[in-house]
Amino acid sequence: MKFFVDTAEIDAIAELNELGMVDGVTTNPSLILKSGRDIIEVTKEIADLVDGPVSAEVVATQAEAMIEEGRKLAGIADNIAIKLPLTWNGLKACKTLSSEGRMVNVTLCFSSNQALLAAKAGAAFISPFIGRLDDINLDGMELIADIRQIYDTYGFETEILAASIRNVNHVTDCARTGADVMTAPPEVIHKLALHPLTDKGLETFLNDWEKTGQKIL
Protein backbone atom coordinates (compact mmCIF):
# COMPACT_ATOMS: atom_id res chain seq x y z
CA MET A 1 0.00 0.00 0.00
CA LYS A 2 1.33 3.43 -0.95
CA PHE A 3 1.71 6.15 1.68
CA PHE A 4 0.62 9.67 0.81
CA VAL A 5 1.13 12.45 3.36
CA ASP A 6 -1.89 14.65 4.01
CA THR A 7 -0.34 18.03 4.71
CA ALA A 8 1.03 21.21 3.16
CA GLU A 9 3.84 21.52 5.73
CA ILE A 10 7.13 21.25 3.85
CA ASP A 11 9.30 20.25 6.82
CA ALA A 12 7.01 17.36 7.75
CA ILE A 13 6.96 16.09 4.17
CA ALA A 14 10.74 16.38 3.82
CA GLU A 15 11.39 14.42 7.02
CA LEU A 16 9.23 11.48 5.95
CA ASN A 17 10.46 11.67 2.37
CA GLU A 18 14.05 11.18 3.52
CA LEU A 19 12.96 7.90 5.15
CA GLY A 20 11.30 6.69 1.95
CA MET A 21 7.85 6.93 3.53
CA VAL A 22 6.34 9.30 0.97
CA ASP A 23 4.80 7.96 -2.24
CA GLY A 24 2.79 11.15 -2.77
CA VAL A 25 1.15 14.11 -1.05
CA THR A 26 -2.43 15.30 -0.74
CA THR A 27 -3.44 18.88 -0.02
CA ASN A 28 -6.75 20.71 0.16
CA PRO A 29 -7.89 24.29 0.84
CA SER A 30 -8.01 23.65 4.60
CA LEU A 31 -4.41 22.40 4.66
CA ILE A 32 -3.25 25.33 2.52
CA LEU A 33 -4.95 27.70 4.96
CA LYS A 34 -3.24 25.98 7.89
CA SER A 35 0.16 26.33 6.20
CA GLY A 36 -0.35 30.07 5.66
CA ARG A 37 1.25 29.77 2.21
CA ASP A 38 0.24 30.76 -1.32
CA ILE A 39 -1.33 27.73 -3.04
CA ILE A 40 0.78 27.91 -6.20
CA GLU A 41 4.01 28.52 -4.30
CA VAL A 42 3.58 25.74 -1.74
CA THR A 43 2.25 23.25 -4.30
CA LYS A 44 5.28 23.80 -6.54
CA GLU A 45 7.64 23.36 -3.61
CA ILE A 46 5.97 20.09 -2.62
CA ALA A 47 5.93 18.82 -6.21
CA ASP A 48 9.66 19.56 -6.54
CA LEU A 49 10.37 17.74 -3.29
CA VAL A 50 8.60 14.42 -3.93
CA ASP A 51 8.54 12.14 -6.95
CA GLY A 52 4.98 10.85 -6.59
CA PRO A 53 1.60 12.48 -7.23
CA VAL A 54 0.79 15.73 -5.45
CA SER A 55 -2.94 16.44 -5.22
CA ALA A 56 -3.93 20.09 -5.58
CA GLU A 57 -7.62 20.92 -5.23
CA VAL A 58 -9.74 23.26 -7.32
CA VAL A 59 -12.09 25.64 -5.53
CA ALA A 60 -14.53 26.32 -8.36
CA THR A 61 -17.93 24.60 -8.30
CA GLN A 62 -18.90 24.72 -11.98
CA ALA A 63 -17.39 22.37 -14.53
CA GLU A 64 -15.86 24.91 -16.91
CA ALA A 65 -14.24 26.85 -14.08
CA MET A 66 -13.00 23.58 -12.53
CA ILE A 67 -11.40 22.64 -15.83
CA GLU A 68 -9.72 26.03 -16.12
CA GLU A 69 -8.40 25.87 -12.55
CA GLY A 70 -7.36 22.25 -13.05
CA ARG A 71 -5.28 23.08 -16.10
CA LYS A 72 -3.58 25.89 -14.21
CA LEU A 73 -2.76 23.61 -11.28
CA ALA A 74 -1.53 20.86 -13.61
CA GLY A 75 0.84 23.36 -15.16
CA ILE A 76 2.74 23.69 -11.86
CA ALA A 77 4.52 20.34 -12.31
CA ASP A 78 4.21 17.05 -14.17
CA ASN A 79 3.33 15.14 -10.98
CA ILE A 80 0.26 17.22 -10.05
CA ALA A 81 -3.00 15.32 -9.57
CA ILE A 82 -5.96 17.66 -9.97
CA LYS A 83 -8.31 17.18 -7.04
CA LEU A 84 -12.01 17.50 -7.88
CA PRO A 85 -15.11 17.05 -5.69
CA LEU A 86 -17.48 14.19 -6.38
CA THR A 87 -20.32 16.23 -7.84
CA TRP A 88 -21.79 16.12 -11.35
CA ASN A 89 -19.74 19.17 -12.23
CA GLY A 90 -16.69 17.51 -10.76
CA LEU A 91 -17.32 14.38 -12.84
CA LYS A 92 -17.70 16.49 -15.99
CA ALA A 93 -14.40 18.19 -15.25
CA CYS A 94 -12.82 14.81 -14.47
CA LYS A 95 -13.86 13.41 -17.85
CA THR A 96 -12.42 16.39 -19.71
CA LEU A 97 -9.16 16.62 -17.76
CA SER A 98 -8.51 12.87 -17.70
CA SER A 99 -9.18 12.74 -21.46
CA GLU A 100 -6.40 15.31 -21.83
CA GLY A 101 -4.05 12.89 -20.07
CA ARG A 102 -4.04 14.66 -16.73
CA MET A 103 -4.09 12.87 -13.36
CA VAL A 104 -7.34 13.43 -11.48
CA ASN A 105 -8.10 12.63 -7.84
CA VAL A 106 -11.84 12.66 -7.21
CA THR A 107 -12.39 13.48 -3.55
CA LEU A 108 -15.19 13.56 -0.96
CA CYS A 109 -16.44 10.08 -1.89
CA PHE A 110 -18.88 8.51 0.54
CA SER A 111 -20.54 5.72 -1.46
CA SER A 112 -19.61 2.90 -3.81
CA ASN A 113 -21.94 4.34 -6.47
CA GLN A 114 -19.97 7.59 -6.38
CA ALA A 115 -16.74 5.59 -6.75
CA LEU A 116 -18.18 3.76 -9.75
CA LEU A 117 -19.03 7.06 -11.43
CA ALA A 118 -15.53 8.44 -10.80
CA ALA A 119 -13.90 5.37 -12.33
CA LYS A 120 -16.10 5.62 -15.42
CA ALA A 121 -15.16 9.31 -15.72
CA GLY A 122 -11.48 8.33 -15.89
CA ALA A 123 -10.26 9.27 -12.41
CA ALA A 124 -6.72 8.17 -11.55
CA PHE A 125 -7.65 8.14 -7.85
CA ILE A 126 -10.86 7.96 -5.84
CA SER A 127 -10.72 9.28 -2.28
CA PRO A 128 -13.26 7.71 0.12
CA PHE A 129 -13.34 9.56 3.45
CA ILE A 130 -13.06 6.89 6.15
CA GLY A 131 -13.02 9.03 9.28
CA ARG A 132 -15.97 11.16 8.31
CA LEU A 133 -18.09 8.07 7.72
CA ASP A 134 -17.07 6.72 11.12
CA ASP A 135 -18.13 10.07 12.60
CA ILE A 136 -21.74 9.39 11.58
CA ASN A 137 -21.68 5.74 12.70
CA LEU A 138 -21.12 4.25 9.25
CA ASP A 139 -18.32 1.77 8.52
CA GLY A 140 -15.66 3.43 6.41
CA MET A 141 -13.83 0.15 5.84
CA GLU A 142 -16.97 -1.43 4.46
CA LEU A 143 -16.94 1.26 1.78
CA ILE A 144 -13.30 0.48 0.92
CA ALA A 145 -14.18 -3.22 0.61
CA ASP A 146 -17.18 -2.49 -1.62
CA ILE A 147 -15.17 -0.26 -3.94
CA ARG A 148 -12.35 -2.84 -4.10
CA GLN A 149 -14.82 -5.54 -5.13
CA ILE A 150 -16.45 -3.36 -7.81
CA TYR A 151 -13.16 -2.18 -9.28
CA ASP A 152 -11.70 -5.69 -9.35
CA THR A 153 -14.85 -7.19 -10.87
CA TYR A 154 -14.93 -4.75 -13.77
CA GLY A 155 -11.23 -4.08 -14.21
CA PHE A 156 -11.22 -0.39 -13.37
CA GLU A 157 -7.70 0.99 -13.01
CA THR A 158 -8.70 3.85 -10.69
CA GLU A 159 -6.67 3.57 -7.48
CA ILE A 160 -8.48 3.60 -4.13
CA LEU A 161 -6.94 6.38 -2.05
CA ALA A 162 -8.26 6.01 1.49
CA ALA A 163 -8.56 9.48 3.03
CA SER A 164 -9.66 11.02 6.33
CA ILE A 165 -7.37 8.59 8.16
CA ARG A 166 -7.59 9.41 11.86
CA ASN A 167 -5.54 6.72 13.60
CA VAL A 168 -3.16 3.79 13.16
CA ASN A 169 -5.99 1.25 13.16
CA HIS A 170 -7.39 2.94 10.07
CA VAL A 171 -4.05 2.36 8.34
CA THR A 172 -3.99 -1.33 9.26
CA ASP A 173 -7.58 -1.84 8.17
CA CYS A 174 -6.99 -0.07 4.85
CA ALA A 175 -4.02 -2.33 4.13
CA ARG A 176 -6.05 -5.43 5.00
CA THR A 177 -9.04 -4.33 2.93
CA GLY A 178 -7.04 -3.64 -0.21
CA ALA A 179 -6.76 0.13 -0.53
CA ASP A 180 -4.10 1.01 -3.09
CA VAL A 181 -3.10 4.15 -1.22
CA MET A 182 -3.76 5.74 2.14
CA THR A 183 -3.20 9.39 2.94
CA ALA A 184 -2.68 10.43 6.54
CA PRO A 185 -1.31 13.36 8.54
CA PRO A 186 2.39 13.09 9.44
CA GLU A 187 1.61 12.44 13.11
CA VAL A 188 -0.41 9.31 12.24
CA ILE A 189 2.41 7.94 10.08
CA HIS A 190 4.89 8.55 12.91
CA LYS A 191 2.65 6.64 15.34
CA LEU A 192 2.84 3.52 13.14
CA ALA A 193 6.31 2.86 14.59
CA LEU A 194 5.17 3.02 18.21
CA HIS A 195 4.46 0.03 20.44
CA PRO A 196 4.78 -0.20 24.26
CA LEU A 197 6.46 -3.62 24.05
CA THR A 198 9.11 -2.17 21.74
CA ASP A 199 9.81 0.55 24.32
CA LYS A 200 9.86 -1.97 27.15
CA GLY A 201 12.15 -4.35 25.28
CA LEU A 202 14.58 -1.56 24.38
CA GLU A 203 14.68 -0.41 28.01
CA THR A 204 15.51 -3.96 29.14
CA PHE A 205 18.26 -4.36 26.55
CA LEU A 206 19.87 -1.04 27.48
CA ASN A 207 19.74 -1.79 31.21
CA ASP A 208 21.37 -5.18 30.66
CA TRP A 209 24.01 -3.65 28.39
CA GLU A 210 24.88 -1.05 31.03
CA LYS A 211 25.49 -3.86 33.53
CA THR A 212 28.09 -5.44 31.24
CA GLY A 213 30.28 -2.33 31.55
CA GLN A 214 31.18 -2.64 27.90
CA LYS A 215 31.27 -0.03 25.12
CA ILE A 216 30.90 -0.39 21.36
CA LEU A 217 32.59 2.92 20.53
Per-residue confidence (pLDDT) for residue 34, from 0 to 100 = 84
8-state DSSP, 129? B
pLDDT > 70: what percent of the chain?
100
Distance CA 181, CA 104 (A): 14
Alpha carbon of residue 124 to chain centroid: 13
Q: What positions carry a catalytic annotation?
A: 83
Distance CA 146, CA 133 (A): 14
Domains of the chain and any CATH numbers: 2-192 (3.20.20.70)
Q: Are strands 159-162 and 125-128 parallel, antiparallel or unpaired?
A: parallel
Per-residue confidence (pLDDT) for residue 28, from 0 to 100 = 87
Cα distance from N-terminal residue to C-terminal residue, the chain = 39
Max intra-chain CA distance, the chain: 72
pLDDT tens sequence across 21-63: 999 999 988 888 888 888 899 999 999 999 999 999 999 999 9
**What number is the average pLDDT over the span 171-180?**
98
Residues 1 and 180 sit within 8 Å (Cβ to Cβ)? yes
Helices 88-99 + 112-120 axis angle, to 10: 30
Task: State if pTM tops 0.85.
Answer: yes
Strands (E), the chain: 2-6, 24-26, 54-57, 80-85, 103-109, 125-128, 159-162, 181-184
Per-residue confidence (pLDDT) for residue 88, from 0 to 100 = 98
Per-residue confidence (pLDDT) for residue 14, from 0 to 100 = 97
